[in-house]
Amino acid sequence: MDRGIVYLVGAGPGDPKLITLRGLEALKRSDVVVYDRLAGPQLLHFAKPDAECIYVGKLSDRHTMKQEDINQLLVDLALQGKNVIRLKGGDPTVFGRVGEEADLLQKNGIIYEIIPGITSAIAVPAYAGIPVTHRDMASSFSVITGHESPDKLDLSIQWDKVTNATGTLVFLMGVAKIGYISEQLIAHGRSPETPVALVQWGTRAEQRTVVGTLSTIEAEVKAANLKPPAVIIVGDVVNQRETLSWIEKKPLFGQRILITRARSQASELVAKIDDLGGEAYEFPVIETKLPSSSEALQAIEQAMAQAEAYDWVMLTSVNGVEYFYRWLDHFGVDIRRFHRAKFAAVGPKTAEALATRGVRAELIPESFRAESMLESLNSVVSTGQFALLPRGDLAREILPRELRELGVQTVEIDVYETVLSAPRDVWLPELLEKGKIHVITFTSSSTVNNLLEALRRLGVQNPVEALQNIDIACIGPVTAKTAEDHGLKVTVVPEKYTLDGLVEAIVEIRRVTKGE
From the candidates 31, 82, 91, 173, which is the catalytic residue?
173
Spatial separation of the C-alpha atoms in residues 310 and 409, rounded to whole Å: 9
DSSP state of 359: -
| Known active-site residue 334 | no
Asked if residue 311 lies in contact with residue 426, where contact means CB atoms within 8 angstroms, the answer is no
Q: How many CB atoms lie within 10 A of CB 419?
A: 14
CA–CA dist 354, 356 (Å, integer): 5
Separation of alpha carbons 145 and 148, rounded Å: 7
Residue 356 has a CB neighbour count (10 Å cut-off) of 9
Cα distances (angstroms) measured from residue 490 to each of 256, 280, 335:
17, 19, 41
At what angle are helices 98-107 and 67-79 packed, to 10 degrees? 40
Q: What angle do CA 336, 337, 341 make, to 5 degrees?
A: 90
Gap between the Cα atoms of 343 and 340, Å rounded? 10
HSE of 508 in the Cβ direction (CA atoms, 13 Å)? 12
48, 58, 436, 496: the active-site residue: 58
Active site residue 173: yes
- Residue 141: what are its φ and ψ, rounded to 5°? -145, 155
- Which amino acid, one-letter code, is at 42? Q
User: How far, in Å, CA of 133 to CA of 426, rounded?
Assistant: 38
**C-alpha span between 273 and 477 (Å, rounded):** 22
Give the separation between CA 415 and CA 26, rounded to whole angstroms: 35
Q: How far apart are CA 390 and CA 290, in angstroms?
A: 12
- The answer to whether 258 touches 439, Cβ cutoff 8 Å, is yes
Catalytic pick among 36, 91, 425, 471: 36
| Cα–Cα distance, 17 to 307 (Å, whole number) | 45
- For residues 341 and 312, the answer to whether their CB atoms sit within 8 Å is yes
User: Cα(215)–Cα(481) distance, rounded to whole angstroms?
Assistant: 56
User: Active-site residue 82, yes or no?
Assistant: no
Q: Count the neighbouring beta carbons within 10 Å of the beta carbon of residue 413.
A: 21
Spatial CA neighbour of 182 closest among 170, 165, 201, 196: 196
170: β partners: 143, 233
Q: DSSP class of residue 427?
A: S
Q: Can you tell me the distance from the alpha carbon of 256 to that of 428, in angstroms, rounded to the nearest whole number?
A: 11
Strands 230-234 and 195-200: antiparallel
Active site residues: 36, 58, 173
